[in-house]
A and B are shown apart, each in its own frame.
Chain A
């Protein structure tokens, strides 16, 4: 159903030359998979599909593009697109957003991802055309391990641990890291021309698989996501070593919401938290 509609819209857009390329999903080479694809020829739109394996955040392909783009966007993708527009990585006029209300994406065993379980923006927040009916937003704060009081339960539980326990967990997770940079590259808002881990004059982070450097990389990357992470799960989905990165990225999202009352990627006209300030921002940690 949705597949057919996406194909029709894409065909029309390409035929009428409203866009140069449509970025969507096609069937992957493995069972239970879908893969991003770039369609330029109206005769090829039949390749486009839609199913519950279309997890990739396609906003990742947008930064710094110059052409006109039709893009298939779920709720999380659309929020990342908002962030990219806010940060001048792409212009709204360049985009034709084919919004798709999303019921959550599944892994290859057909299990819903954790981050989809607690998603509060299943419907695209920005779109030019919507495919299908809007779905009911889930504000009931479902948690992977059953119903919990708030969506931050997992983070709040972690906050209560002793600092040595926290550190132990961080070390045990990050010692799996092989520094393939997939988390960074899969993230739509990690688009720096030169990442701080690649900078050499001066060199910020060592190049080896030294755990201290690995932790520096991840802390730096996570910090840079403050006010920008939409919890789309791209980093954890890409990680080949199953590192629990969301335990840390969600903290940043939580702080953005609780300290600055800012939810990422909802409105292109609102300034992101680090581009603005309030005179009465909390400063109880400052002497």
Chain B
């Protein structure tokens, strides 16, 4: 597929065309910061962002997803499936780190036993990325096998040049969006290459990822876990803002005699996450929970899917109320005996 260019002044026209056909989600400036949200007109969109506060996983794996409804009728119980959304969705402006997280979620939810709800949404969604040339000090994508221009998980990647957007189509579904655009010239390709190198230069790896798996294999009883969790306050910010965390909990919600079964995000940081019905809790303290979080992200997922469960977006680093920095945790583990 050939790379394309779109003049910057034509971007809004391009998005407007998309809005007619798709439910478009893009970064929007709100009171709480820049968040990914549905846009009805291009004015809402805000493209001067480093990264959004929420990750795009909520459009594929919503925080609370209704699975089906049930109601008590006179002699029977009635179960109804919820209607599928007809309109297709398009996520515009996804950062490559979030894109990589989607590639990871795809492995979890689409391989082996596909998850019907995830699959339905995923098939219905196009993801257009926006390359990241101004990484924040919390960013560390290059340390976890990602990159500011990575195309993994994306259907297309936009790169902001001086006057144009340089577009790299990745999948077939996306190609038709760009057929009417001009092909990129050699200069454009060069300029994009240069930007990529610059951005990567700014993101020096903060730890050696290739050592981590082996280290963690033998680290289950490492005394380092005793120290790591100590200041953790057991909230769910890190896991809820994480683009790759995907643990969930299934609950029945009822009002009166009807209700629905919902799938909610859950967090391994919550004490209740592993609570058994018998009230025994196999992960009794925050130490075990932190060990699980690190092991899951950097060891088990790597083994099962070939990818890490951390994409280096830095949200957990930035928003942790006690500055429990996952980069430092990994470094401490690597340095421990």
Contact indicator per residue, chain A 165-188, by CB within 8 Å of chain B (1) or not (0)? 000000000001011111011100
Residues of the B chain whose Cβ atoms lie less than 8 Å from the Cβ of A178? 54, 63, 240-241
Interface residues of A in 141-195 (CB under 8 A from B): 176, 178-182, 184-186
Out of A29, A61, A182, A243, which one reaches B231, CB within 8 Å?
A: A61
List A contacts of B231 (CB < 8 A): 35-38, 61
Verify if A88 is at the interface (C-beta below 8 Å from B).
Answer: no
Select one of B138, B241, B270 contacting A30, CB under 8 A: B138
A-B contact count (CB 8 A): 99
Does B237 count as interface, using CB distance less than 8 angstroms?
A: yes
Chain B residues in 8 Å Cβ range of A206: 251, 253
Q: A27 — nearest CB in chain B belongs to which residue? A: B323
Q: In this assembly, does B327 line the interface, its C-beta being within 8 Å of a C-beta of chain A? A: yes
Task: State which of A77-85, A93-101, A234-242 sits at the interface with chain B.
Answer: A234-242
Q: Is B31 an interface residue (CB 8 A)?
A: yes
Q: How far is the CA of A185 from the CA of B237 in the complex (A)?
A: 11
Q: How far is the CA of A221 from the CA of B280 in the complex (A)?
A: 26
Residues of A within 8 A of B262 (CB): 207-208
B323–A28 contact, CB under 8 A?
yes
Is there an interface contact between B236 and A60, defined as CB atoms closer than 8 Å? no
Judging by beta carbons under 8 Å apart, are B241 and A240 in contact?
Answer: yes
Interface residues of B in 258-299 (CB under 8 A from A): 262, 264, 267, 270, 272
Contact B317 A60 (CB under 8 A): no
Of the candidates B30, B64, B270, B317, which one forms a contact with A29 in the assembled complex, judged by CB atoms under 8 Å apart?
B317
| Residue B321 CB within 8 A of the other chain | yes
Expressed in whole angstroms, the minimum distance between the Cβ of B228 and any Cβ of chain A is 11
Q: Give the residue name and chain of the B residue nearest to A197 (CB).
A: B272
Query: Do A242 and B236 touch (CB < 8 A)?
Result: no
Contact between B31 and A185, CB atoms less than 8 A apart: no
The answer to whether A185 and B249 have CB atoms under 8 Å apart is no
Contact A186 B233 (CB under 8 A): yes
Interface size class of A (residues with CB under 8 A): 35 or more
Q: Which residue of B lies closest to A178 (CB)?
A: B240
Tell me the smallest distance from the CB of B242 to a CB of chain A, in Å.
Answer: 11
How many Å from the CB of B238 to the closest CB on chain A?
Answer: 9
Verify A181–B270 contact, CB threshold 8 A: yes
Main secondary structure on chain A at its contact with chain B?
loop
Interface residues of A in 43-64 (CB under 8 A from B): 56, 60-61
Decide if B68 is an interface residue (CB 8 Å cutoff): no
- List residues of chain B with CB within 8 A of the CB of A56: 321-322
Are B323 and A182 closer than 8 Å at their CB atoms?
A: no
A176: chain B residues within 8 A (beta carbon): 30-32
Chain B residues whose C-beta falls within 8 Å of the C-beta of A38 in the assembled complex: 227, 230-231
Contact, CB under 8 Å: B33 / A242 = yes
The answer for the CA separation of A37 and B253 in the assembled complex, in Å, is: 40
Q: Is B8 an interface residue (CB 8 A)?
A: no
Question: Residue A241 contacts which of B53, B227, B253, B325 (CB distance < 8 angstroms)?
Answer: B53
**Is A8 in the interface zone, CB < 8 Å from B?**
no
If A29-B317, A31-B137 touch, does A181 touch B323 (CB 8 Å cutoff)? no
Q: What is the minimal beta-carbon distance from B206 to any residue of chain A, in angstroms? A: 10
For A185, the chain B residues whose CB sits under 8 A away are 233-235
Structural contact, A242 and B31, CB atoms closer than 8 A: yes
Nearest CB of B to A184, in Å? 8
Q: Does A210 touch B at the CB level, under 8 Å? A: yes
Interface residues of B (CB under 8 A from A): 30-33, 53-54, 63-64, 137-138, 227, 230-231, 233-237, 240-241, 249, 251, 253, 262, 264, 267, 270, 272, 317-319, 321-325, 327-328
The chain A residues found within 8 Å of chain B, CB to CB, are 28-31, 33-38, 56, 60-61, 176, 178-182, 184-186, 198, 206-210, 234, 237-238, 240-243
Report the 9 A-B pairs with minimum CB-CB distance, sorted nearest first. A208-B64, A238-B321, A182-B235, A35-B323, A180-B236, A29-B325, A185-B235, A28-B323, A240-B319
Q: 22 A-B contacts, Cβ less than 8 Å apart? A: A30-B137, A30-B317, A33-B323, A34-B323, A35-B323, A37-B231, A179-B240, A180-B240, A180-B267, A181-B234, A182-B233, A182-B236, A184-B235, A186-B235, A186-B321, A198-B272, A206-B251, A208-B64, A209-B63, A209-B64, A241-B53, A242-B31
